[in-house]
Amino acid sequence: SQQGEEDPQALSIQEGENATMNCSYKTSINNLQWYRQNSGRGLVHLILIRSNEREKHSGRLRVTLDTSKKSSSLLITASRAADTASYFCATADPTSGTYKYIFGTGTRLKVLA
Amino acid sequence: DARVTQTPRHKVTEMGQEVTMRCQPILGHNTVFWYRQTMMQGLELLAYFRNRAPLDDSGMPKDRFSAEMPDATLATLKIQPSEPRDSAVYFCASGLAAGAGANVLTFGAGSRLTVL
């Protein structure tokens, strides 16, 4: 079963706009990660946020975490056509094996040039 | 850059045949994961190893799937006999489990399996 659910399932925006994706998860966590998957490729790690952090930045990426709501959001600012990909959140339930990561359903982002 | 190597990249086989997928994790990583990705189910965790020991294979159909790590440089996923519903992309990922539950995964390029 999926640990995380991303929302929306698909998002289409114009180049230069911001893209926001949300992730909800079910259990307690030590950290939450976001990954990107380009078509036909493996997933690539983007950013990790720990449970005691509320916000984290990396370049054009901004991640927030609300453990009380069991949710996280990924914001990509000033999007580019190269950002077109699927984005997944991943969490591990510390009670079932701290390092066992379960992925959400993903958000398909399309950035139009 | 260190990478996770998966073979084969593509495999077409007939129903009932045995399929073996191989993965070379990144040297020094102590966790290995096998995931299956389909349009309908998304990314499903099939098996998880830490320090070569299988810790969780609850997501794997036991009657036909098996996963092993004969040594630190090789992980295998075997399907016998294969069925059309096994058609999917199978990903291997490895990571270094550190303190506070942090384990950043590096994924291979995947093995695309088609069972006719």
How many cross-chain Cβ pairs, A to B, lie less than 8 Å apart?
70
CATH number of B5-94: 2.60.40.10
Q: DSSP class of residue B9?
A: S
If you measure CA to CA, which chain A residue comes closest to B49?
Answer: A100
List pLDDT tens digits, range A65-88. Answer: 999 999 999 999 999 999 999 999
B99 confidence band (pLDDT: 50, 70, 90): low
List pLDDT tens digits, range B17-33. Answer: 999 999 999 999 999 99
Interface of B with A (CB under 8 A): 4, 31, 33, 35, 42-43, 45, 48, 50, 55-56, 91, 93, 95, 97, 100-110
Domain A4-112 class?
Answer: mainly beta
A27 confidence band (pLDDT: 50, 70, 90): confident
Q: Which residues of B touch A91 (CB under 8 A)?
A: none
pLDDT of res. A30: 86
- Asked if residue B7 lies in contact with residue B112, where contact means CB atoms within 8 angstroms, the answer is no
pLDDT of res. A2: 47
Residue A1 has pLDDT above 60, yes or no: no
B75 confidence band (pLDDT: 50, 70, 90): very high
- Asked if residue A29 lies in contact with residue A95, where contact means CB atoms within 8 angstroms, the answer is no
3-state secondary structure of A73: strand
A97 confidence band (pLDDT: 50, 70, 90): low
Question: Where along chain A do its domains lie?
Answer: 4-112
**Distance from C-alpha of A34 to C-alpha of A81, rounded to nearest angstrom:** 19
B2 confidence band (pLDDT: 50, 70, 90): confident
